[in-house]
Amino acid sequence: MASRRPHVYLDHNAGAPMRPQVRECMVEVMQDAGNASSVHGAGRRARGRIESAREAVANLCSAKTRAVTFTSGGTEANMTALTPKWQDQGAPVYLDRLLRGATEHPSVASGGRFSASGQVVVPVDEQGVIRLDVLEEMLAGDDLTLVSIMAANNETGVIQPLAEIGRLVQAANAFFHVDAVQAAGRMPIDIDAWHADAVTLSAHKFGGPQGMGAVVVRSTARVPAPLLTGGGQENWRRAGTENVPGICGFGVAAELAADEAMSTERMAAMRDSLEASVRHICPSVTVFSDDAPRLANTSCFAVDGIPAETALIAFDLENLFLSSGSACSSGKVSVSHVLTAMGVEEDLARCALRVSLGWNTAEEDVSRFLEVWPSIVDRLNPAARNRAA
C-alpha cells in the first residue's frame, strides 16, 4: 500500500506548530530546577529567564517591560482584561458597562467578568469592520465604559481601525482593550498608537507553547483587577507559580514573531495566489471581507452547496488540515456568528472554509491545496464550476 502524502497544515489561526527554537529553549529550561520566587541561585536563574521573556513580549507590543503579565493563555488574558474593576493611578475605578464588537472571539463575546445586563454589542458592516459612527453614539453619555475590540478577526482576518477606535474611546474618557491574539506576528502591534489600555496575546498562535498568554498594559498606573489572587507573582497582577519553560518559549516565539510582523509580503502573495486560483477553479466562490484590510495569512471563502463539514472531511482524507472558522467550538461545525454579524445568509455561512497560513507555510503547501480543491468541488457540487457568484 502506498504511503499517504505528508500532511499540509493550513490552520495557523487555530494554533501554529511550535517553532524548533521554542522547543529547544523549553527542553533546556525543563532540565533545570528553580522557583522564580526563590532567592537562591536556581530561583534567580529562573527569574532572569522570565524577565528576558517579558522584555521580548513587551517589544512585540511596543510596550514597557513591566507592563507584561503572563497568563495561562488568551482566554485567561481576556478574562483578566474584561473586568468592571480597574486600578487607575492607584485608586479603584468601577466601570458600568462593556461595549464589545459583534465579531469578537467567544472568550470576549462571553463578556468576561461583566454581567450580561452590562454588555452592549457594537455592530459591524458587511465587510466585518466596526461601525465607527455607531460606536461614537454608544460612547456618548456619562457611563464609565470598557470598549473591547479585536485587532484582527480569527475567521476572516479583518483588521479593525484601532487607532481611530482608540481616539474615540479616549475622547469619551473610556477604557480600551484590544484582543491581539490573531495579530501577533502577522501585523505590527503598537499599544500607544492604538491608545489601548490593555492588549492580550496567546503564544501558540505564532509558534509558541500552548497554555501561555499575556496581558500587556499601556501604563502600570492603569491596570485591570487581577483574576487570580493569593500570591505576589507577576507584580501582584496574577497569582500562582510561574510556568518558567512556557514563559521562556513564549519569549523566543515573540522575538521571532516581531521580525515577521514587519514583513508580510511573502505571506500576502501566497494568500492572494490561493484566492485567485480558487476563483478561477470555481467562479461561484465568495471570498469574505475581500474589500477590507485583512491579515496577510487569512482567507475565508465559501461555495454555496458545499457544506463546510463535508469539505473538511474530504480535505482531511487528503491529509490537508484547514478549518471552518473558529476552533473553539469543541470540534463542532456550526454557523459562524462572525459571518452572521456581517449579514451573510445562513446557507452560505454553513459553507465557509478558512485557510490560515503561518511561519512554516511553503508555496508547495498552497499548491497542494489547489491540486485537491477542484476534485472536491467536482465531487460535492460540480455545477459550481460553471456558475458565477
Active-site residues: which are they? 328
User: What is the number of other CB atoms lying within 10 angstroms of the CB of residue 91?
Assistant: 7
CB of 377 closer than 8 Å to CB of 384: yes
Most distant CA pair in the chain: distance in Å? 72
Q: Please state the separation of Cα 114 from the chain's center in Å.
A: 21
- CB 324 within 8 Å of CB 354: yes
Q: What burial class does residue 142 get, using C-beta atoms within 10 Å of its C-beta: 0-12 exposed, 13-18 middle, 19+ buried?
A: exposed
Q: Which of 296, 270, 301, 299 is nearest to 284 (CA)?
A: 301
Q: Where are the beta strands (DSSP E) in the chain?
A: 8-9, 68-71, 85-88, 91-94, 97-101, 119-122, 145-150, 175-179, 198-202, 213-217, 222-224, 286-287, 298-302, 320-321, 352-356
Q: Is the distance from CB of 146 to CB of 174 less than 8 angstroms?
A: yes
3-state SS, one letter per residue, for 314-359:
HHHHCCEECECCCCCCCCCCCCCHHHHHCCCCHHHHCCEEEEECCC
Amino acid at 347: D
Are β-strands 175-179 and 198-202 bridged in parallel, bridged antiparallel, or unpaired?
parallel
Sign of CA dihedral 348, 350, 351, 356: positive
Look-up: residue for cell 517589544?
Answer: 59
Check residue 67 and report its DSSP letter.
G
